[in-house]
């Protein structure tokens, strides 16, 4: 009977210990720790709200920037097309004619006056029948479209300078125009 009593007491003590460890402890340190954790959670939530607001502002600024970029591209395209229209002229008013031939440009050197118009005519036939004029150095804005055989491009030179051009198809050929 003594063994049963000891076993019962031991069992009751074990249960009391287990139940005692499961109940809340009235400790100021633990309570303070719980409130600190809750405060950090609130601060983290507030920081998250600020980050989300900042993110929304950045997205709005990005949309505005994209709209402005699109408008700028439209203006540049309009100005570019206006420039091309001003540069491309009727070949009947050309003061000089340079032909794209299978061996490059004919002639490959030319001296002209400010205000002269030069017609660049594609006279090529055969395998490499296309041509395209490209200005080099500080004259890269002067550029024709792809010219099929028989087509031409005209340009009026408005500034005195030495202009160097290459053919985009047969790139080893160079044309020099001196405008005085």
What is the spatial distance between Cα 137 and Cα 30, in angstroms, rounded to a whole number?
77
Span 167-177, pLDDT tens digits: 998 888 899 99
Q: Report the predicted TM-score, pTM, of the whole model to 2 decimal places.
A: 0.50
DSSP 131-154: B-EEE-GGGTT-B--PBPTT-EEE
The class that CATH gives domain 91-179 is: mainly beta
Structure tokens at 34: 């719980």
Where do the structural domains in the chain lie, given as residue ranges? 28-87, 91-179
Question: Which position has the token pair 């009026």?
Answer: 156
Span 20-51, pLDDT tens digits: 655 455 666 666 666 566 566 667 667 767 76
Span 67-121, pLDDT tens digits: 777 666 665 555 554 444 434 444 457 899 999 998 899 999 999 999 999 999 9
């Amino acid at each position: 009977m003594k063994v049963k009593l000891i076993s019962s007491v031991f069992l009751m003590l074990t249960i009391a210990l287990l139940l005692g460890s499961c109940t809340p402890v009235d400790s100021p340190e633990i309570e303070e720790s719980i409130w600190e954790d809750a405060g950090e959670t609130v601060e983290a939530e507030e920081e998250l709200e600020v980050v989300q607001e900042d993110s929304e502002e950045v997205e709005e600024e990005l949309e505005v920037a994209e709209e402005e970029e699109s408008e700028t591209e439209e203006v540049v395209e309009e100005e570019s097309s206006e420039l091309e229209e001003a540069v491309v002229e009727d070949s009947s008013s050309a003061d000089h004619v340079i032909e794209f031939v299978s061996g490059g440009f004919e002639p490959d050197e030319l001296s002209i006056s400010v205000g002269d118009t030069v017609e660049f005519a594609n006279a090529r036939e055969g395998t490499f029948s296309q041509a395209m004029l490209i200005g080099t150095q500080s004259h890269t804005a002067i550029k024709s479209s792809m010219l099929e055989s028989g087509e031409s491009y005209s340009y009026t030179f408005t500034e005195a300078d030495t202009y160097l051009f290459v053919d985009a198809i047969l790139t080893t050929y160079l044309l020099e125009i001196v405008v005085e």
